[in-house]
Amino acid sequence: MSELVTHSISNGIATITMDDGHANVASPDFLDQLNQALDAAAAEQAAVILTGRAEVFCAGFDLKVLRSGVGHAFKMLMGGFWLTYRLMSYPHPVIVACNGHAIALGAFILLAGDYRLGVTGDYKIVANEVKNGLTMPHCALLLCRYRLNPSHVHRAMLLSEVFNSKQAVEAGFLDKVVAADKLLPTAEQLAKEYLELNQSAHSDSKLRMRKSFLRKLKRAIRADRRGFVFMGLQRMLVKSKK
């Protein structure tokens, strides 16, 4: 298995870097490695900085896997959805340092961070499912309604609007935009500041504030799971009739 995600932990800060050498597409191996990095961070009770490679944060799910068969596609999709749940419920501060493009799942990962940094430049942040002929998953709709500014939810979810970095702050995908060379230093400074918080109070407050949302997110992911299972059965029936 190639190394798609790396991590380092120092002074209570886990820096997790997604880098597949290309567009940072979320394959099953990619998601497994990302979860392993989060396991290591959680074991050290570390704050998390999640970042990508030069000019691309994450370009969404791996389309090759989606076309490879129901089993692999199902694992990948569910893995991506549960990743957003894990980030939203992670007990320590989560800072997302978005290097550039964030597309589909990449945009949803932004929504799961406690603080989201972006970089200046002509980068695309977009949930492009509808443009690509896909019905928005229940969990994605819920995340967007929870984190995006109300005036931008329909534009993002139903119209596949593309936001640049500055517009993404207005929409609610990002909290702040900095120069590219300031991205990680700013994220590290924020992580240091957030570690000065009482971590038990941070965790308890996060879970108290998001308790209802996390319950709804679980239900939404399970609804998506049922939908994918039904879709898979339909495809099997169509093939059997040919």
pLDDT in tens, 165-174: 999 999 999 9
Task: Summarize pLDDT for 15-45 with one digit per residue, the tens.
Answer: 999 999 999 999 999 999 999 999 999 999 9
Task: Summarize pLDDT for 172-215 with one digit per residue, the tens.
Answer: 999 999 999 999 999 999 999 999 999 999 999 999 999 999 99
Assigned domain for 28 exists:
yes
pLDDT range class, residue 233, cuts 50, 70, 90? very low
Assigned domain for 18 exists:
yes
Assigned domain for 101 exists:
yes
Task: Summarize pLDDT for 53-74 with one digit per residue, the tens.
Answer: 989 999 999 989 988 877 788 8
Assigned domain for 200 exists:
no
In the sheet that holds 47-51, the strands lie side by side as 5-10, 13-18, 47-51, 94-97, 115-119, 176-178
Q: What is the pLDDT of residue 235?
A: 53
Task: Summarize pLDDT for 106-143 with one digit per residue, the tens.
Answer: 999 999 999 999 999 999 999 999 999 999 999 999 99
**Rounded to an integer, what distance in angstroms lies between the CA atom of residue 13 and that of residue 45?**
9
Q: What is the pLDDT of residue 229?
A: 64
3-state helix, strand, coil in the chain (%, to 5): 55, 15, 30
Half-sphere CA count of 46, side-chain side, radius 13 A: 22
240 has pLDDT over 50: no
CATH number for position 163? 3.90.226.10
User: What is the model's pTM?
Assistant: 0.93
Assigned domain for 228 exists:
no
Residue 43: give the domain boundaries: 5-195
Assigned domain for 70 exists:
yes
Task: Summarize pLDDT for 68-105 with one digit per residue, the tens.
Answer: 877 788 899 999 999 999 999 999 999 999 999 999 99
Q: What is the pLDDT of residue 238?
A: 46
**Rounded to an integer, what distance in angstroms lies between the CA atom of residue 17 and that of residue 20?**
10
How does DSSP classify residue 98?
-
Assigned domain for 55 exists:
yes
Domain count for the chain: 1
218 has pLDDT over 80: yes
223 has pLDDT over 50: yes
Three-state secondary structure call for residue 7: strand
234 has pLDDT over 70: no
Assigned domain for 230 exists:
no
